Amino acid sequence: MIHRYALALVAFIAVPSMAAAPASIAGRWKTDDGKGIVAMAPCGAKMCGRIDRLLIKQPAGGQLDERNPDKAKRGRKVAGMQIYWDLVPDGGGWRGQGYSPEDGRYYKAHLRVKGDKLTMKGCVSVFCRTVTWTKVG
């Protein structure tokens, strides 16, 4: 009788750790402002995101990372740049690190997929901003 209760207790404790994995973020996503497409893909055991292409007119030679806080990186091209890294499942979504070449800020990223929408919340200190991207072909 005690053995049965012990098995039931072990099963009860184990169930929360078997939570379903969050929806995949893999694929190509158009930014909310329509300025670019970001490709999310595995990088090792985690997920990463790169700017696949820019949909805006670029200066000759390509758009550069001019606002990066690291002056040595201000000459690198934005197209192809990795802007998300170390993304891991976290509850019903993903968490990791992000970078915005538009304002040169690094932030903690929280992503969640619902259908063909990817919602991202980026926080620097206590200040957060949320955007929603749409999946593309």
For the chain, which domains are there?
21-136 (2.40.128.520)
Residue 55 is predicted with a pLDDT of 96
Q: Return the amino acid letter for 11.
A: A
Residue 126 is predicted with a pLDDT of 83
Q: Is-contact 125 106, C-beta < 8 A?
A: no
Q: pLDDT per position in the chain (137 positions), as tens? A: 554 444 443 344 444 445 578 999 999 999 999 999 999 999 999 999 999 999 999 999 999 999 999 999 999 999 999 999 999 999 999 999 999 999 999 999 999 999 999 999 998 888 899 999 999 97
Evaluated on CA atoms 55, 61, 63, 65, the torsion sign reads positive
Distance, CA of 67 to CA of 74 (rounded, Å): 7
- 109, β-bridge pairs: 96, 122
Task: Look up the pTM and report it.
Answer: 0.82
